[in-house]
Amino acid sequence: MKYAGLLVIWLLCSLSANAQKGIEDGSRFGHGEDSVRCIQHIALYKTYLQKNDFAQAYSPWKSVFTEAPWASPNIYTDGTQILRALIADSDNKTKEEDYLTELMNIHDQHIQYLDSLNTLTHTPVTPGFVLGMKIHDYVMFSGTDINIDKAYRKEQEAIGMEKEKSTYYMLEDLMDLSLQKLKTNAGHIEQFIQDYLKASRYIRFRLESTINDPQKQHLWSITKDYIDTRFIESRCVTCEDLQKLYAPKIEQHRTDLAYINLVLSTLRQLKCTGEEVYLTASEAAYTLTPTAGLAAECGRLCYQRGKIEESITYFDEAAMLAPNPADKAEYCYRAARVLFQDKQWKRAKQYALKSISLDKDEGKPYILIAQMYASNPNWCKEATLNQCTYFAVIDKLQKAQSVDTSTADEATQLINTYQKHIPTEKALAGLGLKKGNAVILGGWINETIILR
């Protein structure tokens, strides 16, 4: 009996002597008495959590959090639950501030030991995810003491890490914080717009990737509505506002291609390409990096604004810069359309013929010439001879059908329409003409047709 008592005492002393916390020896739960206490505290605080008794859960949880920081990823998710509840239930500002500091520390320690903790779970998380949650807690519980600039910078950092994997609350927080900055600093407007476009892009990605998940679709639809509301609240949503914002800035940054491209992208995404600043920015971009595509875009924009000669100049430059005959032909065709709309028939036909010379397998220029003839068929004072122009119209449409099957349907429809306008045999006979005769169509048309 004496020896048994001595054995128990020796075992207790041995256990005590070998006791070591996980934080001290790098183990998961610690060793000896500390490992036993760690496991007991985990079980204890879990019991209190099940009862929503957060006040009682706090002490044993804190022991595990402090002494065995990599015991389990759950000590971090459970810890944030406990601290959030304590903050919400507290009516003491000093305690709330202490709890919030501790809540922030939970997130920081989670990130510190994240690599080890991720080996213990089937659902690992990223530093950006944890940082985003930290900022969300900070925003939720800081109240009027929030440091907007600090929170905004950290949110930007978290979203920069997560990108399209950013959580819904990260994107909502970004818009809230950015809007708060805008309300106190009008100079933040450009960055606010970029924040909105970034959030919209990531939400669009989520909506597209969860199309078969109604629950997630609902969540991301709500998120989209939320950030759209924040953008509208900023009162900078009209294209006129963006014109006023960017017009002077383009003049200041005419040699900064990166900035100019950012403005162009912004205006496109917000569907404000009709503003004069979009043309100004496009022209500035073209000056810095002259490409066929940019020249053609400037040509299109000039045409929309009624600047016909400027438009033609840009299409000429696009054709010159284009890398292959097919592209050159396309830009000549676009110039022809501009001139056709401006009723410059002769010049329009010249550009259409140039397009044909560059790409003989394209039917669109033939159809365009046919439409020119049909739009202005009168080349003399004799009505019947003017009606003969429609033979030339049909000739061009049939040519389009023969060289380019993709235009066949359109050409057929137009032939059926214009066939009705050719002169009758009686009318032709009145001029001493009949089937098989050749007729020279004068004026700008300058075509020879065969009556049939």
- The pLDDT value given to residue 24: 57
* Amino acid sitting at position 440: I
Instruction: State the chain's mean pLDDT as an integer.
Output: 91
Structure tokens at 96: 């709330």
Q: Which residues contact 403 (CB under 8 A, 6 or more apart)?
A: 360, 361, 362, 363, 366
- Give tens-digit pLDDT for 390-433: 999 999 999 999 999 999 999 999 999 999 999 999 999 999 99
- The pLDDT value given to residue 233: 87
- Give tens-digit pLDDT for 134-162: 999 999 999 999 999 999 999 999 999 99
Q: Which residues contact 302 (CB under 8 A, 6 or more apart)?
A: 279, 308, 310, 311, 314
Alpha-carbon span 377 to 442, nearest angstrom: 10
**What band does 367 get if pLDDT is binned at 50, 70 and 90?**
very high
Q: What average pLDDT score do residues 224-242 get?
A: 88
Classify 447 as helix, strand or coil.
strand
**What band does 20 get if pLDDT is binned at 50, 70 and 90?**
low
Within 10 angstroms of residue 309's Cβ, the number of other Cβ atoms is 10
- The pLDDT value given to residue 35: 78
Lowest mean pLDDT among 16-20, 92-96, 115-119: 16-20
- Give tens-digit pLDDT for 275-314: 999 999 999 999 999 999 999 999 999 999 999 999 999 9
Alpha-carbon span 176 to 136, nearest angstrom: 11
Alpha-carbon span 270 to 264, nearest angstrom: 10
Residue keyed to tokens 């009606």: 387
Structure tokens at 428: 């032709």
Q: Is the pLDDT of residue 31 over 90?
A: no
Q: Is the pLDDT of residue 3 over 60?
A: no
Q: Is the pLDDT of residue 98 over 70?
A: yes
Q: Is-contact 387 430, C-beta < 8 A? A: no
Q: What average pLDDT score do residues 320-331 get?
A: 97
Q: Is the pLDDT of residue 378 over 50?
A: yes
Q: Is the pLDDT of residue 360 over 50?
A: yes
**77-86: long-range contacts (C-beta < 8 A, 24 or more apart)?**
78/45, 78/46, 78/49, 79/106, 80/106, 80/107, 80/133, 80/137, 81/49, 81/54, 82/45, 82/49, 82/54, 82/57, 82/58, 84/137, 84/141, 85/52, 85/54, 86/54, 86/55, 86/58
* Amino acid sitting at position 369: I
- The pLDDT value given to residue 6: 34
0.75 cut: is pTM over it? no
Classify 448 as helix, strand or coil.
strand
The two most distant CA atoms of the chain are separated, in Å, by 145
* Amino acid sitting at position 57: A
